[in-house]
Amino acid sequence: MWISGRVQGVFFRWETMKRARALGVRGWVRNLSDGRVEAVFEGSEEAVEQMLEFCREGPPAARVTKVEAREEPYRGEFSDFRILH
């Protein structure tokens, strides 16, 4: 998924990782050079839906203006959730 708005420099990646780990979601999150945040989530349907809901709001300092999401088949390729640099 791709999240637009004021999403960099507001602990978006950190809060996403914290929440994903608490929900048992695997994958990653990173900043993009165009100012967006990109994330990949892998887990139960319910947990991934909770992550999508979080990303639509973001942490308190964020101002999300647009969320683009694409569903792909489960591949089981991640063992944890982390921030990519």
Which residues are part of the catalytic machinery? 13, 31
Query: For residue 10, which of 66, 54, 58, 67 has the smallest C-alpha distance?
Result: 58
- The Cα-based distances of 73 to 11, 58, 65, 76 in angstroms read 29, 25, 27, 9
| Residue 73, burial from CB neighbour count under 10 angstroms (0-12, 13-18, 19+) | exposed
